[in-house]
Structure 1
Amino acid sequence: MKQIKNLEVNMRVRLAKEDVNSNYKVSLNDVSREKDFVKILEDYNIKYKKTEYFKDFFMYKLIDINSKFIMILQEKASNYIKYIEPVSIYSLPLQIEDEDGEIPVVYPEENKDYVTLGVIDNGIAHIKHLDPWIKRVHTRFLKEETSATHGTFVSGIALYGDKLENREIVKNEPFYLLDATVLSATTIEEDDLLKNIALAVEENHKRVKIWNLSLSVRLAIEEDTFSDFGVVLDHLQKTYGVLIFKSGGNGGNFMKKLPKGKLYHGSDSLLSIVVGAINDERYASNYSRVGLGPKGTIKPDLASYGGELSLGDDGKMVMDGVKSFSRNGNVASSSGTSFATARISSLATIIYQNICKDFKNFSDFNPVLLKALIIHSAKNTDKNLSMEEIGYGIPSTSTEILSYFKNKNIKIFNGVMEKNKEIELDASFFNYEKDIKIKLTLVYDTEFDYSQKGDYIKSDIKIKDISENERNLTRKFEGILERNKKLELYSDNNIKKNYTLIIEKLN
């Protein structure tokens, strides 16, 4: 997209291709000037729509404008407009190929408690494999307006992924699904998509704590600024105590033999677990977009199997997909970070289902603990891939992760921290030797400066002498720990932060 030249430093502008009349979104960096801004729109008879995601965080959509009106805004309002850019339009193209094969249907057991995974997507078809598990449907659309292609494929992997691939990736156990349909069979603009996602979580957070969000807004993340989509996802998780699993996004640069593009907007959400894809050879998939996140934050967090797309000798795209179900109930294959994400949201749901004591109110749900357990288990593949491609790596199975709670070589500390916290390990953990080799994982939440006038992460936690660089909500370390040395967690201020620290003694 073209840039307008000689811009005021504080107002970012992107123009639509060929400067055709388009819908633009505008964000203000001084909300006290909102009335002045609206007056300009009304003076020039510009149609607009305001979408407020939470208090003082809103977006204006200006309908059908071009650079002529943007020049007027530049002249009259550039000192309080943060940015103006075309509204992203979202559609869900999906290449699905039918495959041979049939697997048995799994049904809920009587008198057994299940937790629910929220699938934020384009709907889930009530096919025989999924219908017994669809607990409820949250939608703003009529059934005939939705296609349920992508949401069905995602849900099939979440529940039956291992059986369909005939190998153990997650160690699947069944759980309920909430079908949260946020887009119809046609296209949707970014402001409406984000609002629909927010409403799905707001209206269901008491009974659904884990969410799969395999949708992206097709804009690459920035180096220094967190996207509106990322900010909205962080705010939802902070406000409602939920955990969102977000796909990193797919790119087609491999078809032009170009380097991979950056992760899509929304994949810079720091509280979400963002997922990339690997192929069967355990390399990062050609289409899987890369990090890091803004300001050097670690994104993606993890990766899993999502299939492969490649450039064929004839110049056409070749798909070697992963298996799930089409909306008519047949076994089918497709590729994408969406489907890698479904495996890891499934993994988290199974872990929580096994440790949950309160199936009525889910008062014991701890997103920080779940995130820490999964990240702690993750390993690089034998291809030694970069953090930009796969984050901390590929997680272990649910059985392996659940064994941590009974493993005498693993200590799990959960708590709330302000400025400092000392963690002492007793001598028996060291086998009374002078030092041991450990693997350590720290995950915490914090408060955010959603306006991004200062640091987005208002308060971080560092581990003295072990992990002190960058501001990151996840830290992982392998090395030697001396027996008489306390672990010192410290922070730059007194903001309360929930944390989980996992320390594993390595042989």
Structure 2
Amino acid sequence: MKVRLAKEDKNSNYKVSLSDISKEKDFIKILEDYNIQYKKTEYFKDFFMYKLIDINSKFIMILQEKASNFIKYIEPVSIYSLPLQIDDESGEIPVIYPEKNKNYITLGVIDNGIAHIKYLDPWIKRVHTRFLKKDTSTTHGTFVSGIALYGDKLENREMVKNEGFYLLDATVLSATTIEEDDLLQNIALAIKENYKKVKIWNLSLSVKLAIEEDTFSDFGVVLDHLQKTYGVLIFKSGGNGGNFMKKLPKGKLYHGSDSLLSIVVGAINDERYASNYSRIGLGPKGTIKPDLASYGGELLLGDNGEMIMKGVKSFSRNGNIASSSGTSFATARISSLATIIYQNICKDFKDFSDFNPTFLKALIIHSAKNTDRNLSMEEIGYGIPATSTEILSYLKNENIKIFNGVMEKNKEIDLDASFFEFKKDMKIKITLVYDTEFDYLQKGEYIKSDIKIKDISEAGRNLTRKFEGILARNKKIELYSDNDIKKNYTLIVEKLN
């Protein structure tokens, strides 16, 4: 039984997870015997959390004595609020409007609401909220949405090659604070009620606890389950830290950033270094997190101990151009990129039956490169993606082969001799992305069945693999797995000059 106590051991709300769910009745009896108020939240079948209201270490000692053999952990409930510094800037840019008779994809923005300012209003397709308008602040969601639609124009540089697309305003937190169980439930409801029409989601929110070395967080597990159940793709911010203000090393990514099916995003600054505040990986069990990075602005420690912001531009809720910094805003660029790519290849704008999250992830990861500063995987994952135009060009590029399929135990991929231009070998870049089944309760390996590439990429268990090297002409690419669970995969092979 893992225990983490609140600071100063004052009465707080705690969350409890059971390691043996058959003992749930015994656990409830202890709570009722001691008149402890509680709330149970079930995220999906057999995956639930108990929130114990207003307790301290005295009652935790009782639980250690009476229930330690069936409690997995007990820790303070995370409280989420959105502190945000937004500075107004001068200037205007042209408003873009939807074209008549054109089909658009919708990006779901899970946030604190989107203000109906002139730049965004034409694109807000629907609003999903459980809050009254007067209780919604819309600061952060507006800033995120502005970058998603206008990021390149605002910075006057091409990072994404922006195009218009619709927005779903999924408001999951009000202007005040929210506890983790309610936040997760609100996120789950937003996706559950809109997944048929919205396939790509931007989630620039975190629960402010650092991820662990060997256990996936409840938040991460819930995000993986949602994506697996509803066939959606989530772009998740890695989280911001303030250790640079104390001249301390960076903290680990926040809970939720260990979701393996999500694309997790870190931030870089204008000098192409990882931003001071951008938290780092790797994920639990050495999984590759963050996956990618993009421009999110910078925060600096000033000479007099003050914080200096060199932000990226978007809009304030009043409709002015404004600046701020954060992994949230780097994430908005990459969710925007994915939405534009899908918008250009989608054939079914009614039911989105051709949406393939594995394929989209593979295209974006394949395009990603390190900056000229040679940053570590812990900071930026696979690197900074190319623009939407460049990524879409892969689909017509004869130097690039893309294989989509379903595999169980083994799959051999044969590249014909003409691909090698009949030479004996070829320098290639390979990207593999796949999905799998998960052990959500983490009794065994979280990734129930992984895929390795024989002689090329065999280390660890990872849902993404990328490799550059020499491949002999007569050598097949062999994918293999430790069991026959069905896995959707995308493999991209590119000839390098």
**Under TM normalisation by the shorter chain, which class is it?**
over 0.9
In structure 1, list runs of 5 or more residues that go unmatched.
1-10
Pick from 262, 267, 270: which aligns with 1:280? 270
Note the 1:337-376 alignment, pairs <5 A.
337-376=327-366
Please report the TM-score for the alignment, with normalisation by the length of structure 1. 0.98
Post-superposition offset of 1:161: 0.2
Aligned partners of 1:12 and 1:108: how far apart in 2?
A: 53
Alpha-carbon displacement from aligned partner over 1:444-499 (angstroms, at most 9, x marks no partner):
00000000000000000000000000000000000000000000000000000000
Please report the TM-score for the alignment, with normalisation by the length of structure 2. 1.00
Pick from 153, 156, 163: which aligns with 1:166? 156
Aligned partners of 1:431 and 1:68: how far apart in 2?
A: 73
Alpha-carbon displacement from aligned partner over 1:312-363 (angstroms, at most 9, x marks no partner):
0111000000000000000000000000000000000000000000000000
Post-superposition offset of 1:68: 0.5
Note the 1:414-453 alignment, pairs <5 A.
414-453=404-443
Aligned residue pairs, count: 497
Pick from 23, 33, 37: which aligns with 1:43? 33
Aligned partners of 2:52 and 2:90: how far apart in 1?
A: 49
Pick from 107, 118, 143: which aligns with 1:153? 143
Aligned to 1:138: 128
Give the superposed CA RMSD.
Answer: 0.3
1:211 lines up with 2:201 in the alignment: yes
Post-superposition offset of 1:91: 0.1
Aligned to 2:82: 92
Secondary structure at the aligned position of 1:479 is classed as strand
Letter in 2 for 1:85: E
Aligned partners of 1:34 and 1:117: how far apart in 2?
A: 39
Alpha-carbon displacement from aligned partner over 1:52-92 (angstroms, at most 9, x marks no partner):
00000000000000011001111111000000000000000
Pick from 96, 107, 130: which aligns with 1:106? 96
Post-superposition offset of 1:435: 0.2
Aligned to 1:266: 256
Letter in 1 for 2:33: D
Aligned partners of 1:204 and 1:411: how far apart in 2?
A: 34
1:409 lines up with 2:420 in the alignment: no
Aligned partners of 1:280 and 1:294: how far apart in 2?
A: 30
Aligned partners of 1:292 and 1:117: how far apart in 2?
A: 28
Secondary structure at the aligned position of 2:309 is classed as strand
Aligned to 2:282: 292
Note the 1:108-257 alignment, pairs <5 A.
108-257=98-247
1:33 lines up with 2:23 in the alignment: yes
Aligned partners of 1:310 and 1:35: how far apart in 2?
A: 52
Aligned partners of 2:8 and 2:298: how far apart in 1?
A: 34
Aligned to 1:493: 483
Aligned partners of 1:166 and 1:24: how far apart in 2?
A: 47
Letter in 2 for 1:433: K
Letter in 2 for 1:414: N
- The list of structure 1 runs, each at least 4 consecutive aligned residues, that deviate by more than 3 angstroms after superposition, is none
Post-superposition offset of 1:189: 0.2
Alpha-carbon displacement from aligned partner over 1:260-291 (angstroms, at most 9, x marks no partner):
00000000000000000000000000000000
Aligned partners of 2:441 and 2:348: how far apart in 1?
A: 36
Post-superposition offset of 1:101: 1.1
Aligned to 1:310: 300
Letter in 2 for 1:407: N
Aligned to 2:372: 382
Aligned to 1:69: 59
Aligned partners of 2:104 and 2:22: how far apart in 1?
A: 47
Letter in 2 for 1:324: S
Secondary structure at the aligned position of 1:415 is classed as strand
Aligned partners of 2:309 and 2:61: how far apart in 1?
A: 45
Pick from 309, 316, 321: which aligns with 1:326? 316
Secondary structure at the aligned position of 1:504 is classed as strand
Aligned partners of 2:75 and 2:245: how far apart in 1?
A: 27
Aligned partners of 1:226 and 1:140: how far apart in 2?
A: 28
Letter in 2 for 1:47: Q
Secondary structure at the aligned position of 1:24 is classed as strand
Identity of aligned residues (%): 89
Post-superposition offset of 1:239: 0.3
Letter in 1 for 2:8: E
Secondary structure at the aligned position of 1:349 is classed as helix
Letter in 1 for 2:433: V
Alpha-carbon displacement from aligned partner over 1:388-417 (angstroms, at most 9, x marks no partner):
000000000000000000000000000000
Aligned partners of 2:162 and 2:443: how far apart in 1?
A: 44
In structure 2, list runs of 5 or more residues that go unmatched.
none
Letter in 1 for 2:44: F
1:469 lines up with 2:422 in the alignment: no
Post-superposition offset of 1:204: 0.3
Secondary structure at the aligned position of 1:319 is classed as strand
Alpha-carbon displacement from aligned partner over 1:181-236 (angstroms, at most 9, x marks no partner):
00000000000000000000000000000000000000000000000000000000
Aligned partners of 1:266 and 1:259: how far apart in 2?
A: 21
Secondary structure at the aligned position of 2:157 is classed as coil
Aligned partners of 1:91 and 1:419: how far apart in 2?
A: 45
Secondary structure at the aligned position of 1:389 is classed as helix
